[in-house]
């Protein structure tokens, strides 16, 4: 439990600093740091167990169906990274409290920081690779929030977006890679996967897994060619850069490579890809770092370069290289965080980060100068700093590795990179702190407050201690972490300052000399660099992004330009293409079922449908005739339903036909009675061909379906409708009971559609369109006898009869053909007849309920019926029924689905009436209506 | 079932079918609109009525019960068919203004309501209708 708490505490505790901000900045900082300290204490309680080589684990099922378990474990590697995250996090918290200006939202900053902390802890402590992905993406997200913290600066926003795009894109590749890995290894738990190294390396998916996982790691750790987001992320406040972009988040990729080392490493591909990328990154970044003027930019490229070193070491594939990588992770985090904090101090005190405006600060800011010198010395690799030790180990490993059989290629490249590394580090130090004191600093530089220089000072002290007494301070943790990374005992090694006159030491001294001389030649080299044509990563990124957007816009505009004809064509084309693919791959055998002889009346009906369709296609220009033929087709479907003994469907079909007819007539009133005569072009022939193809394929599909025997689910419903649902009408029981949730969704859709119609019509009546509407006339001559008396009287007499019939249909729906939907349609038709017979104004005066309320009430009643069953402990929309003996009526069945059906009834009445009544109202507002 | 009843039911179905045919034939073949208008009324009354009586007889002969469904159907038909015919006639008259000279007037000082102009349509006419409905 405590292991999960280590991760959960910062995530849940992120809200505390934001709340405590009301009390003050100190309280907020104390809240943030106490959460971190608590997590750290919980973490350190596991040290004893780990040192005895037992790995504390804990696991809870989260989504068992996809093997996603909330499993955590703390082994040496996880312990090392977690200590780094929490320790440096604590220092950054203190630093940020004093760094951020009073106008900036400190509470929100700490909240984001803690969120990131929890997510990063989740990455290093998770035992399930899917859980790791979740936390991985969470780190990308919280990094986005932190980089864009100063949301009013354009660089901040663009940098945040770029970082998110690159790292999240890598995260997607990583997800694919992890899914493949889990499939090949047979489990998604890391402890299981790490035992399956041989199986994974020899699997045919090894290369894909490697490629995808490496894309994820390289985007996160800013390796070439995905390195361009890190310098732009420097738009973040300096505490963020010190925490995320030097010590923790960018190390996530390295962490994952170390974690998966037993499984993926050992092959030639791993060596060439990983080590190669590492070396290239190391060299390129070191070169660029030398020519940057922004302090944070220099440090950013330096970070990229050092991450390249770590990647290269992981890529070597030898066990000692892994040890060297782990050791360098520790050291780099310490000195880089210190350097970033130092750059922040310089920015805070002098007001600028531009190195060309700085110099000679040593006498003005002595404490910062001392910490900066020591930290920079560590970066250069000067004894007795810790940077020197890890550099030596790195060079040692490089001399043992050969690339492409050429013994001197790798050491040569690394030497070159070291030269540049020395050069930029010396430049950073000398040009900022040493040299003549200037008189044009933007602000008066002085030593910062304790809160700003103490955190880097702590780190620098740690760096010295590790440098002087490496075995005591870093030996055991390095061994623990290496054991965990290698999943076996790490080779024997001894961390110490002096190993003798090794080739590595020679290389170091040589590199230092070259670097120092290179720096003295800086000015002419810089002028060459300034004139050189260099690829602008951000420009290319923006260009490619704009190109993608333009392509998407062109595709959308071409295919969906508002023409219904085109949309329908594309839709039908896609559906038929899909069907064609399936058709081509299936056998065309006929099934075993016997064909029945045709019933004469059904044959006549079929002929009628075909004739109607032809008439429709032939006479479609006269809109009235087209509408009538469509209704003929609908009525014949009703007859077909009756023939196939489906009275419910027939009832519904007839009612819907009537409502549709009324709706279309009301709408057609405003359209020309005759459609425009179209010119026959190739489009018509194309459409004919497509229609014939689709018609033939649907025919074949029906034939294939009807001749093959298949088992459908209808037998289950027929069997269980009475015992489980309490009703003999299977269709109705399916609608309101078995598939009640579907129906619930459908009545919601009816309500929404009706509201949309109302909104559009309302816009027509009250918006700018109403002026056009007022002038429009249909051109027809209207009879002065607006409301013929026979119609008025008959509809009025019919209304109570119709409602009685609707009630009857509603109540008997459960056991006999009927139900809420049909009843609703009958009532709607009866009501709309009032509007048609006596006019909109007359009917509207007499309708004393709001159709909107009907829709909402219906949905609410249906929902309450469903929720009622939750209250009683059953799932949503479970129904119940009981047979009750009434004195005179006899045995009556009371079922909860009646309430649900009532909801359906009300919604459909409200929806249909809303649409139809408002359409009929529209006629009043035209030029005709004023006659 | 008794063969007498079978014959009776068959007779009613045939009679009903015959009248439906007569109505459809008339709808197709009669010369003018107004004469075509009363052809379907034969189908809906005598034609459908025959089939409905056959259905009632069948239920009585087979199960001994008297069913009222069919009378309901007839009742609804009788209510709606005249209204439809009325509307069709009104629409025809409205579109064929030229025939108003050949039509006899309903009363000496007024005309058919659908042929009146807006001004000559007396205010009392419409008021009477709306007063009755309240």
Closest CB from B87, B94, B116 relative to A791 = B87
- Contact assignment for A791 to B86 by CB distance below 8 Å: yes
- Contact assignment for B79 to A798 by CB distance below 8 Å: yes
CA distance B101 to A295: 103
Helix (DSSP H) and strand (DSSP E) numbers for chain B:
6, 0
Residues of A in contact with B118 (CB under 8 A): 784, 931
> CB-based burial of residue A596 (10 Å sphere; 0-12 exposed, 13-18 middle, 19+ buried)?
exposed
Q: How high is the pLDDT of residue B125?
A: 44
Q: How high is the pLDDT of residue A860?
A: 94
CA distance A607 to A51: 87
Residues of B in contact with A781 (CB under 8 A): 94
CA distance A526 to A518: 11
Residue A663 — pLDDT band, cuts 50, 70, 90?
A: confident
Q: How many domains does chain A have?
A: 1
Closest CB from B80, B82, B114 relative to A783 = B114
SS3 for A453-489 is: HHHHHHHHHHHHHHHHCHHHHHHHHHHHHHHHHHCCC
Closest CB from B80, B87, B121 relative to A788 = B87
Q: How high is the pLDDT of residue A119?
A: 95
> CB-based burial of residue A202 (10 Å sphere; 0-12 exposed, 13-18 middle, 19+ buried)?
exposed
Q: Which of A242, A492, A271 is nearest to A345 (CA)?
A: A242
Cis peptide before A550 (omega within 30 of 0): no
Q: Which residues of chain B register pLDDT less than 70?
A: 1, 97-102, 114-134
Residue A617 — pLDDT band, cuts 50, 70, 90?
A: confident
Asked if residue A220 is part of any domain, the answer here is no
Residues of B in contact with A785 (CB under 8 A): 90, 113-114, 116, 121
A325 vs B115, which has greater pLDDT? A325
Residue A748 — pLDDT band, cuts 50, 70, 90?
A: very high
Residues of A in contact with B129 (CB under 8 A): 787, 789, 792
- Nearest-Cα distance to chain B for A586, in Å, is 49
Q: What would the DSSP string read from start to end of A295-331?
A: HHHHHHHHHHHHHHHHHHHHHH--HHHHHHHHHHHHH
pLDDT over threshold 60, residue A333: yes
Asked if residue B133 is part of any domain, the answer here is no
Q: How high is the pLDDT of residue B123?
A: 45
Ranked by mean pLDDT, the top range of A400-414, A504-518, B46-60, B99-113 is: B46-60
Asked if residue A817 is part of any domain, the answer here is yes
Closest CB from A783, A787, A792 relative to B94 = A783
The two most distant CA atoms of chain B are separated, in Å, by 67
A900 vs A778, which has greater pLDDT? A900
Asked if residue A914 is part of any domain, the answer here is yes
- How many pairs of residues across A and B have Cβ atoms under 8 Å apart? 39
Q: How high is the pLDDT of residue A339?
A: 93
A866 vs B13, which has greater pLDDT? B13
- Contact assignment for B113 to A785 by CB distance below 8 Å: yes
A25 vs A82, which has greater pLDDT? A82
A927 vs A56, which has greater pLDDT? A56
pLDDT over threshold 60, residue A502: yes
Q: How high is the pLDDT of residue A142?
A: 93
Across A462-482, average pLDDT? 87
Interface contact A1, partner B, CB < 8 A: no
Residues of A in contact with B114 (CB under 8 A): 783-785
Q: How high is the pLDDT of residue B133?
A: 44
Across A585-599, average pLDDT? 81
Asked if residue B128 is part of any domain, the answer here is no
Which tens digits make up the pLDDT trace of A528-564?
887 777 777 788 888 988 999 999 999 988 888 888 8
Closest CB from B82, B118, B130 relative to A784 = B118
| Full residue range of the structural domain in which residue A904 is found | 728-931
Residues of B in contact with A846 (CB under 8 A): none
Closest CB from A784, A798, A931 relative to B116 = A784
- Nearest-Cα distance to chain B for A884, in Å, is 28
Asked if residue B131 is part of any domain, the answer here is no
Q: How high is the pLDDT of residue B131?
A: 45
CA distance A239 to A246: 10
Calculate what percentage of chain A has a pLDDT beyond 90: 39
Neighbours of A378 (CB within 10 A): 31
pLDDT over threshold 60, residue A148: yes
Q: How high is the pLDDT of residue B26?
A: 94
> B93, B94, B98: best mutation site toward chain A, by most A Cβ within 10 Å?
B94
Residues of A in contact with B79 (CB under 8 A): 794, 797-798
Residues of A in contact with B121 (CB under 8 A): 784-785
If you search the block for the tokens 């007494």, which residue do you land on?
A: A469
Residues of B in contact with A796 (CB under 8 A): 133
- Nearest-Cα distance to chain B for A785, in Å, is 5
Asked if residue A844 is part of any domain, the answer here is yes
Interface contact B94, partner A, CB < 8 A: yes
Q: How high is the pLDDT of residue A736?
A: 86
CA of A191: how far to CAs of A72, A214, A260, A658, in Å? 10, 20, 11, 66
SS3 state of residue A532 = coil
- Nearest-Cα distance to chain A for B116, in Å, is 7
Q: How many domains does chain B have?
A: 1
Q: Which of A353, A330, A328 is nearest to A340 (CA)?
A: A353
- Nearest-Cα distance to chain B for A903, in Å, is 29
- Contact assignment for A794 to B129 by CB distance below 8 Å: no
CA distance A168 to A164: 6
Across A180-208, average pLDDT? 90
Interface contact B75, partner A, CB < 8 A: no
Interface contact B124, partner A, CB < 8 A: no
Asked if residue B93 is part of any domain, the answer here is yes
| Full residue range of the structural domain in which residue B51 is found | 3-101
Across A586-604, average pLDDT? 83
Which tens digits make up the pLDDT trace of A231-243?
989 888 999 999 9
Interface contact B90, partner A, CB < 8 A: yes
Do the beta carbons of residue A117 and residue A89 sit within 8 Å? yes
Closest CB from A785, A794, A931 relative to B83 = A794
Asked if residue B111 is part of any domain, the answer here is no
Asked if residue B68 is part of any domain, the answer here is yes
- Contact assignment for A796 to B133 by CB distance below 8 Å: yes
Asked if residue A741 is part of any domain, the answer here is yes
Residues 751-790 of A with CB under 8 A from B: 781, 783-785, 787-790
CA of A646: how far to CAs of A71, A638, A650, A651, A731, in Å? 54, 9, 6, 9, 9
Residue in chain B closest to A802 (alpha carbons) equals B76
Do the beta carbons of residue A924 and residue A840 sit within 8 Å? yes
> B129, B131, B132, B134: best mutation site toward chain A, by most A Cβ within 10 Å?
B129
Interface contact A838, partner B, CB < 8 A: yes
Asked if residue B28 is part of any domain, the answer here is yes
Asked if residue A926 is part of any domain, the answer here is yes
- Contact assignment for A790 to B86 by CB distance below 8 Å: yes
Complex confidence, ipTM: 0.79
Residue in chain A closest to B92 (alpha carbons) equals A783
Residues of B in contact with A783 (CB under 8 A): 90, 94, 114
Cis peptide before A479 (omega within 30 of 0): no
- Nearest-Cα distance to chain B for A925, in Å, is 19
Q: How high is the pLDDT of residue A929?
A: 62
- Contact assignment for B113 to A792 by CB distance below 8 Å: no
Q: How high is the pLDDT of residue A902?
A: 93
Asked if residue B116 is part of any domain, the answer here is no
Q: How high is the pLDDT of residue B104?
A: 75
Residues of B in contact with A826 (CB under 8 A): none
What is the H or E stretch that residue A57 is in? Answer: strand A57-63
Residues of A in contact with B75 (CB under 8 A): none
Q: Which of A158, A309, A168, A148 is nearest to A237 (CA)?
A: A148
Q: How high is the pLDDT of residue B124?
A: 42
CA distance A121 to A644: 64
Closest CB from A781, A784, A790 relative to B83 = A790
* Mean pLDDT for chain A overall: 88
Do the beta carbons of residue B9 and residue B47 sit within 8 Å? no
- Contact assignment for B118 to A789 by CB distance below 8 Å: no
Residues of A in contact with B133 (CB under 8 A): 792, 796, 838, 842
Q: How high is the pLDDT of residue A618?
A: 87
- Nearest-Cα distance to chain B for A838, in Å, is 9
Q: How high is the pLDDT of residue B99?
A: 60
Q: Which of A223, A110, A109 is nearest to A166 (CA)?
A: A223
pLDDT over threshold 70, residue A848: yes
pTM of the model: 0.69
> A782, A784, A799, A931: best mutation site toward chain B, by most B Cβ within 10 Å?
A784
């Amino acid at each position: 439990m405590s292991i999960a708490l280590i991760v959960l505490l910062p995530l849940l505790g992120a809200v505390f600093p934001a709340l405590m901000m009301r009390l003050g900045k100190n309280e907020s900082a104390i809240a943030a740091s106490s959460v971190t300290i608590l997590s750290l204490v919980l973490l350190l309680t596991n040290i004893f167990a780990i040192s005895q080589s037992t790995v504390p684990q804990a696991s809870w099922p989260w989504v068992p169906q996809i093997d996603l378990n909330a499993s955590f474990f703390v082994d040496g590697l996880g312990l090392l990274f977690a200590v780094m995250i929490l320790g440096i996090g604590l220092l950054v918290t203190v630093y940020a409290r004093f760094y951020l200006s009073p106008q900036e939202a400190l509470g929100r900053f700490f909240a984001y920081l803690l969120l990131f902390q929890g997510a990063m802890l989740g990455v290093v402590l998770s035992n399930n690779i899917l859980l790791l992905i979740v936390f991985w993406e969470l780190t990308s997200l919280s990094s986005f929030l932190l980089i864009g913290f100063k949301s009013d600066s354009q660089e901040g926003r663009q940098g945040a977006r770029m970082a998110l795009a690159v790292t999240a894109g890598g995260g997607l590749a990583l997800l694919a890679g992890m899914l493949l890995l889990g499939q090949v290894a047979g489990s998604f738990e890391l402890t299981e996967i790490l035992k399956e190294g041989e199986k994974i390396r020899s699997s045919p998916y090894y290369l894909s897994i490697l490629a995808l996982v490496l894309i994820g790691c390289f985007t996160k750790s800013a390796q070439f060619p995905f390195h361009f987001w890190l310098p732009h992320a420097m738009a973040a406040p300096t505490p963020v850069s010190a925490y995320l972009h030097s010590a923790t988040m960018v190390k996530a990729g390295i962490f994952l490579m170390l974690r998966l080392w037993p499984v993926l490493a050992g092959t030639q591909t791993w060596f060439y890809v990983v080590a190669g990328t590492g070396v290239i990154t190391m060299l390129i970044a070191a070169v660029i770092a030398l020519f940057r003027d922004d302090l944070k930019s220099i440090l950013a490229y330096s970070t990229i370069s050092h991450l390249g070193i770590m990647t290269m070491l992981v890529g070597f594939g030898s066990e000692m290289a892994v040890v060297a990588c782990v050791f360098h992770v520790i050291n780099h985090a310490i000195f880089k965080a210190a350097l970033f904090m130092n750059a922040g101090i310089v920015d805070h005190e002098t007001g600028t980060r531009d190195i060309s405006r700085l110099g000679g600060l040593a006498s003005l800011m002595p404490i910062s100068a001392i910490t900066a010198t020591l930290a920079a010395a560590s970066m250069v690799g000067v004894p007795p700093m810790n940077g020197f030790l890890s550099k030596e180990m790195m060079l040692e490993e490089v001399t043992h590795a050969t690339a492409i059989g050429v013994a001197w290629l790798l050491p040569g490249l690394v030497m070159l990179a070291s030269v540049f590394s020395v050069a930029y580090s010396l430049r950073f130090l000398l040009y900022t702190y040493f040299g003549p004191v200037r008189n044009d600093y933007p602000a008066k530089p002085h030593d910062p407050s304790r809160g700003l220089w103490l955190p880097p000072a702590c780190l620098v002290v740690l760096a010295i201690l590790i440098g002087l007494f490496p075995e005591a301070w870093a030996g055991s943790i390095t061994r623990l972490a290496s054991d965990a990374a290698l999943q076996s005992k790490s080779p024997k090694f001894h961390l110490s300052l002096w190993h003798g006159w090794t080739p590595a030491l020679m290389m170091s001294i040589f590199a230092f000399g070259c670097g120092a001389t290179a720096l003295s030649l800086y000015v002419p080299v810089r002028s060459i660099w300034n004139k050189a044509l260099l690829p602008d990563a951000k420009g290319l990124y923006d260009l490619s992004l704009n190109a993608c957007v333009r392509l998407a816009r062109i595709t959308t505009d071409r295919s969906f330009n508002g023409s219904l004809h085109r949309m329908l064509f594309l839709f039908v084309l896609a559906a038929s293409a899909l069907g064609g693919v399936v058709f081509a791959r299936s056998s065309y055998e006929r099934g075993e079922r016997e064909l029945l002889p045709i019933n004469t009346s059904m044959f006549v009906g079929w002929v009628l449908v075909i004739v109607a369709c032809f008439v429709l296609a032939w006479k479609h220009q006269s809109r009235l005739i087209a509408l009538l033929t469509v209704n003929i087709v609908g009525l014949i479907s009703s007859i077909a339903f009756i023939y196939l003994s489906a009275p419910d469907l027939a009832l519904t079909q007839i009612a819907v036909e009537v409502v549709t007819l009324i709706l279309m007539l009301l709408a057609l009133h405003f359209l020309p009675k005759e459609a425009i005569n179209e010119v026959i072009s190739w489009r018509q022939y194309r459409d004919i061909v497509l229609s014939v193809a689709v018609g033939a394929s649907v025919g074949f599909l029906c034939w294939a379906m009807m001749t093959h025997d298949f088992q459908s689910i209808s037998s289950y419903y027929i069997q269980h409708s009475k015992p489980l649902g309490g009703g003999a009408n299977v269709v109705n029981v399916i609608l309101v009971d078995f598939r009640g949730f579907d129906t619930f969704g459908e009545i919601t859709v009816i309500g929404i559609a009706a509201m949309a119609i109302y909104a559009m019509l309302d816009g027509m009546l009250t918006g700018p369109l109403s002026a056009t509407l007022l002038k429009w006339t249909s051109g027809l001559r209207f009879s002065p006898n607006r409301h013929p008396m026979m119609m008025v009287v008959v509809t009025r007499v019919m209304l109570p009869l119709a409602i009685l019939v609707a009630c009857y249909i509603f109540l008997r729906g459960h056991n006999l053909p009927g139900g809420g939907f049909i009843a609703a349609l009958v009532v709607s038709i009866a009501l709309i007849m009032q509007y048609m017979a006596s006019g909109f104004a007359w009917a509207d005066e007499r309708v004393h309920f709001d159709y909107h309320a009907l829709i909402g009430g219906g949905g609410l009643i249906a929902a309450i019926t469903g929720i009622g069953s939750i209250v009683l402990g059953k799932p949503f929309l479970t129904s119940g029924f009981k047979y009750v003996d009434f004195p005179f009526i006899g045995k009556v069945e009371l079922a909860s689905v009646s309430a649900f059906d009532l909801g359906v009834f009300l919604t459909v009445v409200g929806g249909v009436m809303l649409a139809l009544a408002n359409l009929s109202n529209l006629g009043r507002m035209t030029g005709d209506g004023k006659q | 079932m008794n063969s007498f009843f079978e014959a009776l039911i068959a007779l009613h179905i045939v009679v009903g079918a015959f009248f439906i045919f007569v109505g459809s034939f008339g709808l197709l073949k009669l010369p003018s609109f107004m004469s075509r208008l009363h052809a379907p009324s034969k189908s809906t009354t005598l034609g459908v009525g025959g089939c409905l009586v056959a259905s009632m007889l069948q239920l009585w002969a087979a199960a001994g019960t008297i069913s009222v469904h069919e009378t309901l159907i007839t009742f609804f038909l009788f209510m709606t068919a005249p209204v439809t015919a009325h509307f069709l006639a009104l629409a025809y008259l409205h579109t064929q203004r030229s025939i108003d000279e050949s039509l006899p007037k309903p009363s000496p000082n007024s005309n058919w309501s659908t042929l009146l102009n807006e001004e000559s349509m007396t205010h009392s006419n419409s008021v009477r209708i709306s007063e009755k409905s309240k």
